[in-house]
Amino acid sequence: MNYTIWPKSKFRIGEYLKLNLHFLTSRRLEKRLEKMFPSGYAVLCSSGRAAINMALVYKKHSRPDFVGVNPYTSHCVLDSISRVATPIIWNLKPKLNTKTRLIYHQWGYIQKDLSRINNIDDCVDTLCEIGTNLFPTSQDFEIWSFPKILGTTSGALLWCKKESVAKEIRVMRDSRGGGFFLWVLRNLGVLNKNIYWLWQGLEAQKGKPSIPEIKEINNEINKWEQKIYDRKKKLNLIWEYAPKWLKKTKGRIPTVVPLEYDLYKNNTIFKKLKFEIKHLEKYQKLNSSNLIKVFPVPIHEDVSFEFIYKLKKHLKIK
């Protein structure tokens, strides 16, 4: 079985058509999440790229302003930033005119030793235990992506440190629109790349979620504790093979356990199971990092325990 780094989005048409006597709104869902994570104020968005865009607009960034990013930043993040400001590879050392740094806490592994000045915490694929403190390096924003965390078809959260900021951004989100039409485009984009590129071109400057999106996200939040239990159990099963320099973060559960490529490249199980080779950013000290080749072993809900036990058996005879 060839598992992906994140859970696969599942289009659940039956759930979208169910009659719900409790009319769900963005604000109701935001209040639910704020009870789960009381250290922040939630703004529900249609995607992570829209959340990034709105955070930068709120911070009054413009084209001459640089936004620092990691060297392996995805094209969708670069596109979202470039519609407001100019992305630049920061590599830990601030550049002239860099107003903000987007800190990607890769796969759920938090970079604790970074400056807390002018950061946005990009925690798009981090599953947090209920009650976890937010904003590991930021004084302003933390971003989650529900497709990467819960396997939904869309949705994201822009967590705000201040309630007044969240209120302003909700007004901005609602005025920008988006909604049902863009959600349909996104799902049709799975079948046709041209439709996907159309959605991508529009999405970063929108952000308002539709009722089906809100219902889907709410249904998956109902399973939050179950997902935490499942992922923590898999994490503990495979963690002994993770790099010794990699640290867990209290309350934050990663989506994969990376195994160093140089240690396991000759193990036939990785070729047999068609594991991807990725790079993990290793921070050695405050002003130094390098990219390490790894096999990312997924531990989200799509992954069976049978798979984990089979892999463990092969790792023991490495």
User: What pLDDT shows up at residue 92?
Assistant: 54
Sign of CA dihedral 177, 70, 8, 22: negative
The whole domain housing 240 covers: 224-316
Residue 159 lies in a domain: yes
Task: Please state the rounded mean pLDDT for residues 134-163.
Answer: 96
Residues 172 and 295 in one domain: no
pLDDT at 317 over 80: no
Report how far apart, in Å, the C-alpha atoms of 50 and of each of 28, 97, 101, 209 are.
20, 23, 17, 10
Residues 45 and 120 in one domain: yes
pTM over 0.85: yes
Which is more confidently placed, 9 or 117?
Answer: 9
CATH code, domain carrying 45: 3.40.640.10
Residues 165 and 22 in one domain: yes
Q: How many Å apart are CA 300 and CA 308, to the nearest integer?
A: 11
User: What pLDDT shows up at residue 178?
Assistant: 87
Residues 192 and 96 in one domain: yes
Mark which of 161, 196, 221 sits at the end of a domain: 221
pLDDT band at 19 (very low <50, low <70, confident <90, very high): low
Residues 193 and 84 in one domain: yes
56, 84 contact by CB (below 8 A): yes
Q: What is the mean pLDDT of the chain?
A: 90
User: What pLDDT shows up at residue 77?
Assistant: 94
Residues 273 and 246 in one domain: yes
pLDDT at 93 over 70: no
Residues 111 and 213 in one domain: yes
Residue 3 lies in a domain: no
Residue 2 lies in a domain: no
Residues 37 and 168 in one domain: yes
Among residues 303, 148, 171, the alpha carbon closest in space to that of 238 is found at 303
Q: Six-digit token pair at 192?
A: 């046709």
3-state SS class at 93: coil
Residue 307 lies in a domain: yes
Residues 279 and 300 in one domain: yes
Residue 4 lies in a domain: no
Mark which of 221, 238, 265 sits at the end of a domain: 221
CATH code, domain carrying 255: 3.90.1150
Residue 110 lies in a domain: yes
Residue 200 lies in a domain: yes
Task: Please state the rounded mean pLDDT for residues 119-126.
Answer: 96
Residue 92 lies in a domain: yes
Domain count, the chain: 2
Name 318's Cβ contacts closer than 8 Å, sequence gap at least 6.
263, 264, 267
Residues 196 and 254 in one domain: no
Residues 81 and 142 in one domain: yes
Sign of CA dihedral 246, 51, 55, 27: negative
Q: How many Å apart are CA 316 and CA 318, to the nearest integer?
A: 6
Percent of the chain with pLDDT over 90: 67
Residues 216 and 270 in one domain: no
Q: Six-digit token pair at 223?
A: 């399973």
Mark which of 200, 221, 242 sits at the end of a domain: 221
DSSP labels, 123-149 = -TT-EEPTT----SS-SSEEEEEHHHH
